């Protein structure tokens, strides 16, 4: 459960960072690269959250 809380906090942090970046920045620019990295981190965090929630749900059944 602790890991799930940590992941949710990280997700909120990266969502706030994403809001500060220019989503229309060219990919070859530094800001475009940072935006792509933030999106990747968000996807990986979301996948881990879903995995943990799935395991918890399966354990309850």
**13-32 pLDDT, tens digit each:** 999 999 999 989 998 999 99
Confirm whether pTM is higher than 0.85: yes
> Is 2 a domain residue?
no
Which residues constitute the domain of residue 53?
11-17+25-60
Ramachandran angles phi, psi of 33, nearest 5°: -65, -45
Nearest to 27 by CA among 17, 19, 37, 18: 37
Nearest to 45 by CA among 35, 55, 4: 4
> Is 3 a domain residue?
no
Q: How far apart are CA 23 and CA 55, in angstroms?
A: 34
Q: Are 11 and 42 contacting, i.e. CB atoms less than 8 angstroms apart?
A: yes
Q: What's the number of domains the chain is made of?
A: 1
Q: How confident is the model at residue 1 (pLDDT cuts 50, 70, 90)?
A: low
């Amino acid at each position: 459960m602790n890991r799930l809380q940590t992941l949710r906090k990280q997700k909120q942090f990266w969502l706030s960072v994403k809001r500060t970046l220019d989503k229309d920045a060219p990919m070859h620019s530094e800001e475009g690269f940072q935006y792509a990295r933030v999106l990747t981190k968000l996807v990986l965090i979301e996948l881990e959250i879903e995995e943990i929630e799935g395991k918890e749900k399966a354990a309850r059944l």
